[in-house]
Every structure is written in C-alpha cells, then in structure tokens.
Amino acid sequence: MALSDEIARRRTFAIISHPDAGKTTLTEKLLLFGGAIHIAGAVKSNKIKKTATSDWMEIEKQRGISVATSVMGFNYGDYKINILDTPGHQDFAEDTYRTLTAVDSVIIVVDVAKGVERQTRKLMEVCRMRNTPVIIFVNKLDREGRDPFDILDELESELKISVRPLSWPINIGEKFKGVYNIYEHSLDLFTPDKQRVSERVEIDSVDDPRVDESVGETDAAKLREDLELIEGVYPEFDREAYLRGEVAPVFFGSALNTFGVKELLDCFVEIAPAPKPTTAEERVVKPDEEGFSGFVFKIHANMDPNHRSCIAFVKICSGKFERNAPYKHMRTGKMLKFAAPTAFMAQKKSIVDEAYPGDIVGIPDTGNFKIGDTLTSGEAIHFKGLPSFSPEMFKYIENADPMKSKQLEKGIQQLMDEGVAQLFVNQFNGRKIIGTVGQLQFEVIQYRLEHEYGAQCRWEPISLYKACWIESEDAEALAAFKKRKYQFMAVDREGRDVFLADSGYVLQMAQNDFPKIKFHFSSEF
C-alpha cells in the first residue's frame, strides 16, 4: 500500500472524560467492534481507584496495567484505528495533556446525569488551544438524567464550542427506547444487553409509520417535534467546521449496553481527520513526506527497580518508520537504531518492522529520551516542545540524606525528563520547587527517588497559588518586573522566567500593575 493510502486510513485519537463518565467502558466497546477483544470486561481500567491513594504499592500495580493499555490499535473495515489511553486519575492530568498533543482528534464522554464536569472542562481547554476536532458522546442514557436539550446548552456554554446533534434519544432512563440517527436517518431500538448490538429499524425518514410502530405514537410525535426544533436551532452539520475544531457533533447512547457505540464509530471513521501536518520550529511537516520524523510524547518507566529501563512512546509524524534503520536523535545529534520497537495491536505488544504516520511505536530506552525529543531520518527538525501547564500544588524538595546528593540530583533530573512533575528554581534563594497537579505525584517522586536512585528527599511546604510564565516585548518592563518581584521569580527547566504568585489577589494585582507583562498559564505561547 502506498504511503498516502496508509496515512488516509489512519485515525489516531484519545477518549477523554471526567472519571466515571464511561471512558473505559466505551474504549472496551470500540475494541469489541474492531474485533480486538472478544468479550466485554477484557479491558482493565487504567484508573487508579481513590481508595488506593495511600497505598503506593497498589498504585504501582495498577500503573503497570497502563503500559499495555497505553495505545490500542486495531483495524476496523479499511481503517486503522489507534486509541491513545489517558490516565483516569486526575493527579496524572499532565500526562493526559501531553497525550493530547499526539492525537488528531478526541472523543469526549459526558455522563447524561452529571453533564460537564471539572476534568472535562480542563481537557477541553487543551483541545481548544490546539483546535483539536472533538466528538461528544453523551453516555448512560439507560439511567435517569437531564433533558438532552439542556445537556446541549451546557456543552456549548461550558465547553465553549458549538454543538450539532447527530443522533437523538427517545426518552431516557427507564423509558429509554432508542436513538434516532440523524446522520444516517435510521432508528436504533434499545435492547438492554451488555454484549449484543441493538436492533436497527430501516426507515425512510422520521415520518415513516414504522417509527410509530416501533416506539409508539406519543414518543414518535415527540421525536418529530424535537427533530424539528433541532433542525431549526442548529445549522446543518459542517464537516469542515468540525475539522477546524469549531463545532462538535454529539451522539447519545449507553456504552455499558453497547448502544449507540457502533453509530459513533461508523461516523467517527468517516468524519474524523487522518494524520495532520505537524508544526516544527523550522517548518510544517506533512505526513506524506518521504523522510521519517516523530516525537516522544510519553515515557513510561519500568517500575521494577532492578531494571531501570523505560519505554519511550514515539508518535510518527511523517514518512515510514523502519526497524533497525538509523534515525537521528535531534537533541543529542546521535544516530540511533532500534532493534525492538513495539506496536500495540489488539491489546498485544509486539515487535514491528514498520509503522506509519499516526501510529505510535514504543521504544525500549535506558535514559536517552526526554519528553518532547524529535527523531528524524536526518533532517534538522525540532517539533515544538510539549506544553507544560501551570501546576496546582507546590512543595520545596530538600535532600534528606547528605551522602546521596548526587543521586538526588540525577533522580530529580530524570524524573523531570520523564515528565512526572515540573521543577522550578527560585532565583532568590536557589531552592528547588516541585510543581504537580496532584498530591499523588509527590508520593510517586519520593518513592521512585528512594527505590530507583537510592536518594532520600523531604518535602517542605510553600504557599503558592500559581506559577506562570512571563514575557514582554518591552525588555525594560520585564527587567523592572523581575526586580520588583525578585523574591518570587524562578526559572523552569528550559531557563524561562516564571513568576510564583502566592495568591490569586497578588497575581491579579501584578497583572494590573504591569500591563506590559504577559502572564501565561501554559508554557506554549
């Protein structure tokens, strides 16, 4: 198959949701349709149960699972689908943000009873930054929930994106009868069954008398009324607008009952984008270029302390990746060959000889790679660094064993390369500050420093509200700001200026008092 055909048939995406909305269940059902698994219940949840927060060994065990489920590839018809899994636990949200840089589109799962929740809102912000096309799946229609029109309004206002329903539910909860597929003009009746696909009634249009026969006259009349309203309120579905990230098609269903999932998948493969060009510092790289290029978006450490090896996940951006071919590691300038790259098909990890744009290959690594590294066939290309987001929790990290300061340095450096958390160095007192999105990461760092590097650390409290990256076109204004706030200035690992605001009020005052300074909450600006 020609390179362009391989590219055109690939769909690389992530499913994101607030915990418990049904991400794992939906992923599993998609794999069932793709024949990648044969029974429901085969996909282990990658989420870390709340009860496990105090039990690090348990977390470790659970994290082990996520290597296998990090990427799930399967064929569906003519399409090659790559689902990138994201950690369910919000303390690992930074990992999710980075995964979103490696996908071409996303499916957002929303619980019909709960609507848009905090984590969904945050993840959507990341999608919006990159104009990632999104499809929304409103889940759990078999349970009592909110009115679908209310849900649509909430999606628009909370996720700040226009929506366009492509399927419509007939009642919800106990009275749920099925969905009308607006995209294909068909009617799917609901039969609560966790393994089987629902029944489809062939109809010509919503006015077909078979609709009344199937769902009863009252519900048929309500359906027609709803559809009329939808057609009146929402413009026709515009695929180009979806691809630009301006409008999100919405589907309704029940992942647990495998209902509405096939409709979602069939529409998804048709409308979702194939691998897109990637922007590098030098130029835009198109997937169908001959030269190979890719970047590392995730590093998964081996939790076994006796084998400190990792797997670096490389997203292929252009050309064909071949096993044992020499590729240039741009950051170090070294030529590297990979004898055992792995791909992830149907839940199995196996060595691959070649892979194409949109695919992810796992490369066994012993410390060569950093998050964001670029590999190419030779051309000097540097894909733009993956964004860091302003962390939410901060602690000073101190050495608790003076005999092991070298080990501590090395451990901190490598864990930061892996993207476990962010390091800032306060310019005033030289102390190191670790910023995370959740408490769990501090535990992870302490545990790994001890078990993998033989170093001991101690956490000391620091009262910080936000760390934000600052810049200004006016060098004088920047210098004045840094001088005035010298106690609160730090640098990140790339040497960029970071302002440490100890309260929301202080940050706002700084923004008011220094209009020439730009404050950024993500390192990508």
**Interface with ligand G4P by CB under 6 A: which residues?**
17, 19-25, 45, 47, 88, 139-140, 142-143, 254-257
Shortest distance in whole angstroms from residue 82 CB to ligand G4P = 18
Length of the chain: 525
> In this complex, which beta carbon is closest to ligand G4P, that of residue 123 or of residue 343?
123
Q: How far apart are CA 117 and CA 136, in angstroms?
A: 13
Q: How far apart are CA 515 and CA 525, in angstroms?
A: 17
Cα–Cα distance list, 166 to 20, 126, 400 (Å): 24, 24, 58
Shortest distance in whole angstroms from residue 43 CB to ligand G4P = 9
Q: Name the token pair of 119.
A: 């984590």
Closest CA to 225 of 213, 237, 233, 236: 233
Shortest distance in whole angstroms from residue 140 CB to ligand G4P = 4
> In this complex, which beta carbon is closest to ligand G4P, that of residue 23 or of residue 328?
23
For tokens 């499916």, what's the residue? 107
> In this complex, which beta carbon is closest to ligand G4P, that of residue 181 or of residue 254?
254
For tokens 């009115």, what's the residue? 147
> In this complex, which beta carbon is closest to ligand G4P, that of residue 100 or of residue 363?
100
> In this complex, which beta carbon is closest to ligand G4P, that of residue 25 or of residue 390?
25
Residues 355 and 361: beta-carbon distance below 8 Å: yes
Shortest distance in whole angstroms from residue 51 CB to ligand G4P = 13
Q: At what angle do helices 56-68 and 439-453 cross, to 10 degrees?
A: 90
> In this complex, which beta carbon is closest to ligand G4P, that of residue 173 or of residue 209?
173
In this structure, which amino acid lies at residue 356?
Y
Shortest distance in whole angstroms from residue 258 CB to ligand G4P = 9
Instruction: Tell me whether residue 104 is exposed, middle or buried, using C-beta atoms within 10 angstroms of its C-beta: 0 to 12, 13 to 18, 19 or more.
Output: buried
Shortest distance in whole angstroms from residue 437 CB to ligand G4P = 17
Pinpoint the alpha helices (H) of 278-429.
Answer: 405-417
Shortest distance in whole angstroms from residue 10 CB to ligand G4P = 24
Q: Name the token pair of 474.
A: 């006016």
E-assigned strand segments in 47-166: 71-76, 79-84, 105-111, 134-139, 162-165
Cα–Cα distance list, 210 to 168, 206, 214, 511 (Å): 17, 9, 6, 62
Shortest distance in whole angstroms from residue 181 CB to ligand G4P = 17
> In this complex, which beta carbon is closest to ligand G4P, that of residue 19 or of residue 454?
19
> In this complex, which beta carbon is closest to ligand G4P, that of residue 256 or of residue 421?
256
> In this complex, which beta carbon is closest to ligand G4P, that of residue 258 or of residue 414?
258
Shortest distance in whole angstroms from residue 46 CB to ligand G4P = 8
Q: At what angle do helices 23-33 and 261-271 cross, to 10 degrees?
A: 80
Shortest distance in whole angstroms from residue 465 CB to ligand G4P = 29
> In this complex, which beta carbon is closest to ligand G4P, that of residue 12 or of residue 254?
254
Q: How far apart are CA 511 and CA 515, in angstroms?
A: 6
Strand order in the sheet with 489-491: 457-461, 393-399, 432-436, 422-426, 489-491, 497-501, 466-471, 518-520
Q: Name the token pair of 165.
A: 């329903």
